[in-house]
Structure 1
């Protein structure tokens, strides 16, 4: 019957809530809440996550949100972010703020001590989170510098189902973090980055309290946290899977304690300048479940089940270390090397011969790596799909010919490898038909012939970066885009051979194009009218 509300008269609350929960975007949920008062009420009941940025009266905002969304399980508060309030909240929020100020002036509450603090979440606001969101499981408090041990203890007493807690940049102390261990017996994930007021006493208390459930721990820039805390982790947290440490005060003793006491450790990230080879040897011998290892400023180590390894800015690591990886880590699938000046072809050859399951190889500014090592990769690593060789200036066409003959790449970045020219890229075009991403920027010897071959051989290409390629012209570009009809992004700044006509060709030939980066003067008025929204310009007009 026309005008009859079939949905509201037929569907029960439970079914509408289930439908709302399956909507995958906030905008869709917000739109549904505007249908009628019933849907607004049900949408509020179904909301599980809230993200709150900096606001004028954060305590009042938290109280308002708690009343409207009682079933929220995930609360993310980040006072680095400035988020404008929805119009419908502003009037009500002002009332709450004025009410808080009135109480403060009359001595009935200490939630707002002064005008400056009203712009930061205080202990009163944190208490409101605990009282209002009793079902909370995830709480993130990023740079909430005004909360103290009192507020943290209050929320732990109310939120005993808490599973994830992020206190990055919060100046809390031992009493507050000890309260987490006392009350939150289901805690699995804890981030204590930049919690400068914390000492071993508080962290040890937490570890003992959450020993059975803690799976992830992050500590950075906590000057008073020492090996004593890590020894407690190793002694009690047998379920720990992820550990991230950035500290000048952690030494071998602490890392060894974790390696030996946490058999389920899968991810280990260390920025600890005072940790030596002894600790890393212990990690290799004890952490047989390790999958991801990220190290900064270390030397040699071994391991038996490593699947991903990142060595970033490790100037003292040489070929011997990577040769050991090649011998013992046959399951390695991803290797990242950045600014490792002592690593050369011998290391890459060892990786290639011993890690035949390698799927991703990213090397940047490792100037001792040349054709020999990459040829070995092409001959041995048949599953390689993602190769990045940025500014490895000893790598040339010979290396890419071997890759094209032995691998089927999806992703290739050889920017800054100035010895690579048409022959190498043509080999890739003929051997890698699944290629979807290509960065050949700053290749001075690359020309139109390679572009024509890419068009013929790589029809799935979606993203291409041609910037600073002086030999590529409109002719080569037209060959490329005429066959690569799926192209979505094209970067071509500082290419003197590409003119206004070439830019227009890209726009007219590529139906799916989403972004074109080019000099402003190369875009004609007609092209700008046709596709102005997808064109990005170089910052400096040329």
Structure 2
């Protein structure tokens, strides 16, 4: 009834808070906060996650935010983001979509410098319920500020200090005070030595489950020995170091018997360390090895023999691995669900055939720069891995249509297919995908110049669930193929048709008519597209958020203005600077990205 408040007079604060917590739309939350002072106050109380730009973000501003949002448990401060633009409430602890909070303020009201120890003191005083703290490249924060946080935020469970020049004293304070810490990320923390990490391992050893260390030159095997001695429930370890050797990895393998995820980029580690992991870490589920040049198939044989629960294996630039090691993994790790082989030049068709025959639960396979892997390998995968859902192929020059046909016939649950610069793959293979894989949602065939319109006609007829399509550089594709997609794939949200020289306005009109859910489109280097096609596209595609259209000679400033004025959700337009009128620049300068052609 007009003039009567039937909500505030009936609903208590507790129920209103629960309603606000269940809103997953930014516009809904912002609208609620503007209704009245009570709703504004309660909406602030419902926020549990805040995202702040650290650049040009003063300590006074942090203090102000802390005083208004007192129930925050997750705080994210990133020096790479502009503090003067955006403060956001990121993901909640549930899987709800991120919401964002915009706080507008006069820039010269606050000091203009990065977050310092005084700001961390404000964090410590204002966010006493904090459970997760992420500080990204906050270079002015030191051990003193981190000590304030440690003393006040006793419930801290996750700490990310990427790029922060904190010293041992701050990390030691975290170890002494934060007895619930479970996750610690130390990337590019150049001020740390073994002393700080060893103290933290001693203090938080009973709770620490995840540890990441990268580019910390003063952290050595001594730290890992402390981790092995005290962190008995450690489940995830990620190391990127030129200084850690076998001794540290072996200490972790002996002491952390619950280890499930291991990510290593340590050029000094040899077969001895990986053999220890294989024999001792029997619960290991995920293993990623990057740029190893001092170990051989002996390591993978030990992994295959001992780590029978392994579900994910990534091998990148491991030049001394061969089919023998991969065969050992296939024989011992029947639960393997994800395999990525990147630039391991001695792995060939035979090794992948073993995976296809023995790893029946494989769901995702990625082969990057595998010049010795041929069609027979994927034929075995097609025969044996009926649960395969994702296949990624990059620069695999021997793989052709026969391999893709085998996958299509044998892996009918395929949802994602990404192929880039595999020049032997043509329309025949993609037609087979369209005829057999009706659950396909994501198709990317970049620079596969033997794929033509007939392939996309098959996809349009057989894959109605397609949401993501990238055919960049497939110069044989034109209006007929894109029209078939527009008419057969109404759920399409992403479309990249860049460098398609034969694509014309008629195809864009069909996309606008048939794909109203489209959010992102890339039209760069499409020489036949004009303002007319853009107008037809945006007439129905009102949800469009980004549009890339550089080097399209038929697009003018009028076409750019049409896109910006029609699409109310547009967030990014990439275009040459010369094609943006002064009026458009004034109206939407913040969403326009320029690519200069006046070089």
Aligned-residue offset at 1:258: 5.1
Please give the alpha-carbon distance, in whole angstroms, between the structure 2 residues aligned to 1:490 and 1:320: 40
Q: What is the aligned partner in structure 2 of residue 294 from structure 1?
A: 314
Who is 1:166 aligned against? 160
Which residue does the alignment assign to 1:126? 120
Query: Is the CA contact (8 Å cut-off) linking 1:217 and 1:242 kept in structure 2?
Result: no
SS of equivalent to 1:126: helix
Work out the CA distance in 2 between the residues paired with 1:211 and 1:37: 46
1:434 aligns with 2:465: yes
Q: What aligned pairs does 1:38-57 form with structure 2 within 5 A after superposition? A: 38-54=38-54
Q: In 2, distance between residues paired with 1:337 and 1:422?
A: 26
Take 2:162 and 2:575, find their aligned partners in 1: how far apart are those partners?
37
- Give the whole-Å Cα distance in 2 for the aligned partners of 1:514 and 1:55: 26
For residues 72-123 of structure 1, give each alpha carbon's deviation from its aligned partner in whole angstroms, at most 9, with x where no partner exists: 21122222322117456879x75xx7xxxxxxxxxxxxxxxxxxxx934344
Distance 2:425 2:442 in 1: 17
Among 439, 442, 445, the residue aligned to 1:414: 445
Give runs of aligned pairs for residues 111-510 of structure 1, distance below 5 A. 119-223=113-217, 224-225=219-220, 226-227=244-245, 228-257=247-276, 262-274=281-293, 276-277=295-296, 278-298=298-318, 299=321, 300-301=325-326, 302=329, 303-408=333-438, 409-451=440-482, 453-454=484-485, 457-473=488-504, 490-496=521-527, 498=529, 502-507=533-538
Distance 1:381 1:120, change over 3 A: same
Distance 2:341 2:49 in 1: 36
What TM-score, normalized to structure 1? 0.81
Partner of 2:238: none
Measured at CA, do residues 256 and 84 of structure 1 come closer, stay the same or move farther in structure 2, by a change above 3 Å?
Answer: farther
1:38-117 matched pairs, under 5 angstroms: 38-54=38-54, 58-84=58-84, 86=103
- The 3-state SS of whatever aligns with 1:522 is coil
Q: Which moved more, 1:414-423 or 1:496-505?
A: 496-505
TM superposition shift of 1:325: 2.4
- CA pair 283-218 structure 1, distance change in 2 beyond 3 A: farther
Seen in structure 2, the aligned counterparts of structure 1 residues 121 and 373 have a Cα distance that, compared at 3 Å, is same
CA distance 1:527–1:26, change in 2 (3 Å): closer
SS in 1 for 2:154: coil
Partner of 1:100: none
- Cα displacement (A) at 1:169: 1.0
**CA distance 1:78–1:263, change in 2 (3 Å):** farther
How far 1:164 sits from its partner (Å)? 0.7
Gaps of 5+ in 1: 98-117
Sort the Cα spacing of 1:431 and 1:82 in 2 relative to 1 into closer, same or farther, 3 A: closer
Specify whether residues 4 and 197 from structure 1 end up closer, same or farther in structure 2 by C-alpha distance, changes over 3 A only: same
Once the two structures are superposed, residues 430-471 of structure 1 have per-residue CA deviations (whole angstroms, 9 ceiling, x without a partner) of: 433433433333223335554555455545545443333344
Shift of 1:147: 3.2
**Alignment CA distance shift 1:489-1:381 (3 Å):** same
Residue 521 of structure 1: CA displacement? 4.1
Aligned partner of residue 446 in structure 2, secondary structure? coil
TM-score, normalised by the number of residues in structure 2: 0.74
Distance 1:379 1:157, change over 3 A: same
CA offset digits 1:390-445 (Å, max 9, x no partner): 11101123322332333223322222111222443343344334334333332233
Shift in Å, 1:168? 0.7
Distance in structure 1 (CA, Å) of the matches to 2:126 and 2:516: 54
Give 1:380 deviation, angstroms.
Answer: 1.4
Residue aligned with 1:311, SS: strand
